[in-house]
């Protein structure tokens, strides 16, 4: 019986051991999908979406260094986009995926834009999940406020309540059981059953270090001029402002856009409107050879 995905590990350029999930048939003719998660998140976020996509194409879901089942980096200076891009390049070479469709959530979307500058021929298309070339300072401050804190272990109910406190405004329609599901997904369970955060708190240093001198991501976004792009925005987002979302369409007239009501940062990508838009995008731009 085949598993839903294979659990794989590889070595980065600096020999750090990294983890990824490999869904679907590696020999599928359709262009494979690479899913890149947000700052404190990992491959688990894409599980349901990957299951939805993988009957037709291969889906790679890496844990960036310092997250999930990837090794925490003893050199915290390596928690930067340039190193992440190197790790991604090694993964694509290892898996023989020379051309991919990238689905990037938050930080993952910024990395997808950077790939447009660093590895333009590897992009068959990009889906940006609630991220753009300008970051709303309100959202950056909010994320920086919780990402750098090492949390004490919690039971399921405590973890669910904590997540609701942090992210309630982004998912105003969530019921209690959905917050429990989020806790199961967003935390790592220890052998004693308690839940702990699943990332190295040091990854937040990169955010705080650039707080006073934000990077201009517009050149990276403009590097996607010849690449098909679908941009998804949570209607309640505090990271991607309506003004930036509108300017993205002005800068790239062929940009496809979806605004999702009742979602903040970030849409989970399995909402019906998201799945429909993603399916349409992949069908239109994802059937080339790789």
**Count of beta carbons in the 10 Å neighbourhood of residue 289:** 8
Mean pLDDT of 89-116: 96
Higher-confidence residue of 280 and 289: namely: 280
Q: Which class in CATH covers the domain with range 5-148+204-285?
A: alpha beta
Residue 171, φ and ψ in degrees, nearest 5: -135, 70
Average of per-residue pLDDT across 254-265: 97
Q: Give 106-156 pLDDT, tens digit per residue.
A: 999 999 999 999 988 999 999 999 999 999 999 998 988 888 787 899 999
In angstroms, rounded to a whole number, what is the distance separating the alpha carbons of residues 226 and 53? 24
Predicted local confidence at residue 256, as pLDDT:
98
Residue 272 pLDDT class (50, 70, 90 cuts): very high
Q: Would the pLDDT of 2 be above 90?
A: no
Report CA-CA distances (Å) from 131 to 52, 79, 93, 99, 196.
23, 19, 26, 22, 27
Span 17-74, pLDDT tens digits: 999 999 999 999 999 999 999 999 999 999 999 999 999 999 999 999 999 999 999 9
Encoded tokens for 164: 């609701």
Supply the pTM of this predicted model.
0.95
The answer on pLDDT for 216 being more than 90 is no
In this structure, the number of other CB atoms found within 10 A of the CB of residue 87 comes to 23
Distance CA 79, CA 77 (A): 5
The answer on pLDDT for 290 being more than 50 is no
Provide the strand spans (E) within 28-182: 33-36, 59-63, 100-105, 123-129
Segment 60-90, tens digit of pLDDT = 999 999 999 999 999 999 999 999 999 999 9
pLDDT averaged over every residue in the chain: 93
Which residues does residue 10 pair with via DSSP β-bridges, in sequence order? 18
What is the reported pLDDT for 212? 52
pLDDT at 288 over 60: no
CB-based contacts of 279: which residues, under 8 Å, 6+ apart?
none
Return the bridge partners of 234, or none. Answer: 260
């Amino acid at each position: 019986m085949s598993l839903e995905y294979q659990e794989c590990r590889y070595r980065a350029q600096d020999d750090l051991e990294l983890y990824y999930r490999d869904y679907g048939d590696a020999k599928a003719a359709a262009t494979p999908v690479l899913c890149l998660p947000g700052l404190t998140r990992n491959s688990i976020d894409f599980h349901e979406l990957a299951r939805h996509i993988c009957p037709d194409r291969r889906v790679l879901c890496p844990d960036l260094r310092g997250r999930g089942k990837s090794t925490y980096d003893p050199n915290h200076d390596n928690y930067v986009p340039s190193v992440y891009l190197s790790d991604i390049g090694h993964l694509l070479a290892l898996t023989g995926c020379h051309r991919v469709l990238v689905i990037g959530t938050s930080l993952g979307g910024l990395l997808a834009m950077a790939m447009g500058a660093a590895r333009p021929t590897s992009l068959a298309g990009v889906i940006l999940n609630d991220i753009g070339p300008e970051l709303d300072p309100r959202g950056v401050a909010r994320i920086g406020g919780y990402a750098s804190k090492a949390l004490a272990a919690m039971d399921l109910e405590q973890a669910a309540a904590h997540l609701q406190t942090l992210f309630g405004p982004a998912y105003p329609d969530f019921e209690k059981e959905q917050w429990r599901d989020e806790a199961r997904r967003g935390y790592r369970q220890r052998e004693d059953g308690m839940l702990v955060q699943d990332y190295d708190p040091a990854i937040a240093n990169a955010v705080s270090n650039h707080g006073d001198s934000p990077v201009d991501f517009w050149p990276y976004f403009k590097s996607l001029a010849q690449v098909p792009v679908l941009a998804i925005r949570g209607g309640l987002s505090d990271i991607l402002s309506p003004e930036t979302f509108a300017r993205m369409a002005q800068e790239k007239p062929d940009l496809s856009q979806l605004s999702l009501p009742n979602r903040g940062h970030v849409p989970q990508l399995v909402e019906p409107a998201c799945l429909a838009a993603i399916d349409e995008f992949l069908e239109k731009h994802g059937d080339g050879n790789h």
